[in-house]
Structure 1
Amino acid sequence: MEIPRSSQGIHLYQRKYILDLLEESGMLRTKPSSTPIEYNSKIHSKSGTPIVDPTSYKRLLGKFLYLTHTRPDISYAVGFLSQFLAEPTTFHQNAVYRVLKYLKNSPGQGLFFSNNNITTIKGYSDSDWAACLDTRKSITVWCFFMGSALISWKSKKQNIVSRSSAEAEYRALTIDSCEAQWLLSLLKDLSITHPNPISLFCDNESALHIVANLVYHERTKHIKIDCHVVREKVQNRIIHLLSISSSSQIADIFTKPLTPLPFNTLVSKLDMINIHIRSLRRTVKNEETGQGKGEADTITDPHHD
């Protein structure tokens, strides 16, 4: 993991790690992909022919898991393909190679933490109902930002099958509200005050109505415990639930495959930068304006930890 520092902040990325992966897999000369997973294909456990030796598939996914620490844009693809570890097929193998081709686009991409960031936390909660074609289980997703910096994210299949999209979204809200409480506890341990509740954005109006409605109806009585959990967090001013349109839901990047345009739009909102491209652009600009070499790079003389 490489950590360049500057007066502007800290950049976290794994460029050498990605290049080593591409070299080991023989993918350095392949054509890059625009997204980490095919956005118009339906992958399930029986897709393709079983692989004779699944060792390479398992090894690559294990390395991808470590890479997700600085590349949240591949979190959904890695989590989705990990469910086929028991019996991977050629179709799954090609999907793993597509992740490598996507990484080839920008191996220097990583998270940026600005020195001028504020300590206010906001989060986005989302779910993709019945996303798994084999089990019809939904996906729980959250991502939390401190200012503009992404500090916590997760994409995980739910343990049980939800009978409606509202139920899936509400179960996601329950887990996400617990993460919000943990983040507040962490800030308290670091002696950082957060006077206001964490704003948690959700794009499902039915789930928000369940929180506001104190009457349990027949359709919500089977998630009664989850209702109590979220309402307690709201009443204790740990979270503040807000509605957001689906087009502005940043957590969508962790829930399902997307076409290149919305995918790249959401990646830009994760505050990820490519330090090498940014430095190259600044160098060219300074050469055109006649500035000195020492002023060229955005982050100069990086220290690697």
Structure 2
Amino acid sequence: MKKFGYQQANTDHTLFSKHRAGVEVTRSKHSLFLSQKKYVMDLLADTGMLDCKPADTPIVENHKLGVYVDQVPTYKERYQRLVGRLIYLSLTRPDIAYVVSVASQFMHSPSEDYIAAVMCILSYLKSAPRRDLLFKKNGHLDLKGYTDADYAGNITNRRSTLGYFTFVGGNLVTWHSKKQNVVPRSFAKSEYRGIAQGVCEILWLRWLLAEIGFRLDGATKFYCDNQSAFEIANNPVQHDQTKHVEVD
């Protein structure tokens, strides 16, 4: 989890530790750690999952969650309450951001399959109740971002899910996972829309940093792993061939 900026707090050099709205803030000489371990343990206790078998991942690979005509409904209020608490937990846990976004898509009509997916998240939290989000001084305020998207991953309506995260000064500051509003006809278009969303986040962060007195002079690096989407975004000549995504 180090690629997300996770690290266990070194309490030998801790100056202070405070709780704010369920978030534990621990500060050492050169670092700041955010954790919600107590919140996780309370959540596991309230749901009776303290003694559950830990899971290695928060969701099974290539899951088939969707809307089916023969699905067995479950207690709606309970499901909404659990997902709501997980949404709050994802404030410091980007490792569950994607699966929580998937679970939140079925709030209106949950089934037993969806509640089983939520229980899988809780089992994963049991395996790692504490994941400290690390912020440290790296001697710079460079801004960079990364984006990715699947292609037609939703089995119900074949929409894609995009995700991006950004770093300021080498520290993870924002992350996002969301199902796209349209159905792309190619992998490149799905990735291109992901780039557009990530660039909006980058522009907002540049504006925010300038507002608080840290104006960035150089260009911001933004990474995408799809060459076709990169060429579309980087070559204005090709924009005439992509008027259907001109809004991006």
TM-score by length of 1: 0.71
Give how far 1:148 is off.
2.7
Partner of 1:205: 227
Partner of 1:224: 246
Partner of 1:152: 174
Q: Which amino acid aligns with 1:135?
A: N
Distance (Å, rounded) in 2 between the aligned partners of 1:125 and 1:138: 13
* Structure 2 residue 216 is matched with structure 1 residue 194: yes
Give how far 1:141 is off.
1.3
Partner of 1:70: 92
Moved over 6 A (4+): none
Q: Which amino acid aligns with 2:79?
A: Y
Structure ranking higher in strand proportion: 2
Q: The residue matched to 1:156 in structure 2 has which SS?
A: strand
Q: Which amino acid aligns with 2:175?
A: W
Deviations 1:260-298 (A, max 9, x none): xxxxxxxxxxxxxxxxxxxxxxxxxxxxxxxxxxxxxxx
Q: The residue matched to 2:110 in structure 1 has which SS?
A: coil
Distance (Å, rounded) in 2 between the aligned partners of 1:75 and 1:117: 29
* Structure 2 residue 239 is matched with structure 1 residue 182: no
Distance (Å, rounded) in 2 between the aligned partners of 1:118 and 1:63: 35
Partner of 2:149: 127
Partner of 1:103: 125
CA contact (8 A) 1:119 1:147 kept: yes
Q: Greater RCO between the two (CA within 8 Å, min separation 6)?
A: 1
Residue of structure 2 aligned with 1:46, choices 68, 78, 82: 68
Partner of 1:164: 186
Q: The residue matched to 2:28 in structure 1 has which SS?
A: coil
Bigger Cα Rg: 1
RMSD: 1.7
User: Which runs of no fewer than 5 residues in structure 1 stay unpaired?
Assistant: 227-305
* Structure 2 residue 136 is matched with structure 1 residue 114: yes
* Structure 2 residue 40 is matched with structure 1 residue 12: no
Distance (Å, rounded) in 1 between the aligned partners of 2:59 and 2:40: 17
Partner of 1:59: 81
Identity %: 40
Aligned residues: 226
Distance (Å, rounded) in 1 between the aligned partners of 2:123 and 2:69: 21
Give how far 1:173 is off.
1.1
CA contact (8 A) 2:164 2:177 kept: yes
Distance (Å, rounded) in 2 between the aligned partners of 1:121 and 1:47: 46
CA contact (8 A) 2:166 2:172 kept: yes
Partner of 1:91: 113
CA contact (8 A) 1:137 1:160 kept: yes
Distance of aligned partners of 1:119 and 1:213 in 2 relative to their CA distance in 1, 3 Å threshold: closer
Partner of 1:299: none
